[in-house]
Amino acid sequence: MTSEKEVLAETVQKAPTKASPLASIFIVMTEAVEGQEDEFNDWYTNIHCHDTMRFKGSVAVQRWKLSRWQLRYNERLVGPEQPWLCIYEVGDTQENIDVHVRDTFTDRLPITSTQRIDKAEDFYYVPAAGTKNAVEAYNSRDGHVLLMRMNVKAGKDQEFVRWFREQYTPRLLKLTGFIDGELYRAADIQLIDAIPRYQYSAVFHVADPMVAVESLDSHLAQSGTLADCALIEPGSLGIACYSPITNRFTAEQANNLPPVQRELEDRFRANMGDRVHLSESPDGLKIKR
């Protein structure tokens, strides 16, 4: 006769296990309305970053601006056009998306009218290969970054990922000024109802941006680089260097602001200018609902 203890043990063993949350980095490119950059940045840094860090699934966020140091001899590869980069570290992508869908354009997540919504790009990315999740792989270092974005020819994904991680990344990390980096692919779940413009994004942390960019410029003149890789769709490669404009800001900090910082946030919020509403931007951020 089966004991109650044995029946319970068997039930637990057969019970489905919940899948681990999907970690990702959320790469966001933005542009401000001309002449309203200061108001845009006040909103993004002091309101938007705080709001999003209070979402379930958020870990940390940091912002950058296009650096003065960009490729010169390979300037045809410089891109994208938006000057502002924000990278969010997300511990649970689905939870993060769910809250975005619920709150975007509401008082819980107001969007400033000083942002060019028609120019915004925001997509979740996960490591292209490897055992680390996205937050572990990203390993933010609070410094300058080089973002390399590209699309790969049909049927060449596995070959490209293997080449980039096993052969090309070690080669890049030997360049002067390069510290660490990882290749990411667009996640299967997204907030925006649109196909990511770039399938792959590589994020490299660099020390001195001038030295790193000059090293990369010389490197791209050699053979067997991203510039002449036969696995990449022609014309899809974009490389840009970014300098930090904020420190890394964590979800823990957002949820435990000291009184002085909380008062400052409230002041920025009270002085926020015009907002965009969902009904006003049908051709802008096509958030899934």
* DSSP states along the chain: ---HHHHHHHHHHHSPPPPPP--EEEEEEE-BPTT-HHHHHHHIIIIIHHHHHTSTTEEEEEEEEE-S---STTGGGB--S-SEEEEEEES-HHHHHHHHHHHBTSTTB-EETTB-GGG-EEEEEEESSSSS-HHHHH---SSEEEEEEE-B-TT-HHHHHHHIIIIIHHHHTTSTTEEEEEEEEE-SS-SBSS--S-SEEEEEEESSHHHHHHHHHHHTTSSSSGGG-TTBPTT--EEEEEEESS--EEHHHHHT--HHHHHHHHHHHHT---EE-GGG-TTS--B--
Each domain of the chain, given as residue ranges in start order, spans: 21-280
Mean pLDDT is lowest, of 11-20, 21-30, 138-147, 219-228, for 11-20
- Which one has a higher pLDDT value, 283 or 192? 192
Q: What are phi and psi of 152, to 5 degrees?
A: -115, 145
At 142 the pLDDT is 82
pLDDT of residue 63: 98
Mean pLDDT of 163-168: 96
Q: Could you tell me which CATH class the domain 21-280 is placed in?
A: alpha beta
Q: What is the pLDDT of residue 277?
A: 77
**pLDDT band, residue 5 (cuts 50/70/90):** very low
Work out the average pLDDT over 63-92: 96
Closest C-alpha among 153, 165, 155, 172 to residue 232: 153
- Answer whether 72's CB lies under 8 Å from 15's CB: no
pTM over 0.85: yes
User: pLDDT-based confidence at 286, cuts 50/70/90?
Assistant: low
Which pLDDT value is given to residue 82?
Answer: 94
pLDDT at 20: 81
Count, residues in the chain: 289
pLDDT at 126 over 80: yes
Has residue 256 got a pLDDT over 80? yes
| Whole-number average pLDDT of the chain | 90
Res. 1 pLDDT band, cuts 50 70 90: very low
Q: What is the model's pLDDT at position 141?
A: 82
In tens, the pLDDT along 38-61 reads: 999 999 999 999 999 999 889 999
Position 206 pLDDT exceeds 80: yes
Residue 7 has pLDDT above 80, yes or no: no
Q: Residue 289 pLDDT > 90, yes or no?
A: no
Cα separation, 212 vs 202, whole angstroms? 15
| Range 276-281 average pLDDT | 68
Residue 255 neighbours by CB under 8 Å, 6+ apart: 53, 54
pLDDT at 131: 73
Structure tokens at 231: 């696995």
Q: What is the pLDDT of residues 8-29, one digit of tens each?
A: 344 333 443 456 899 999 999 9
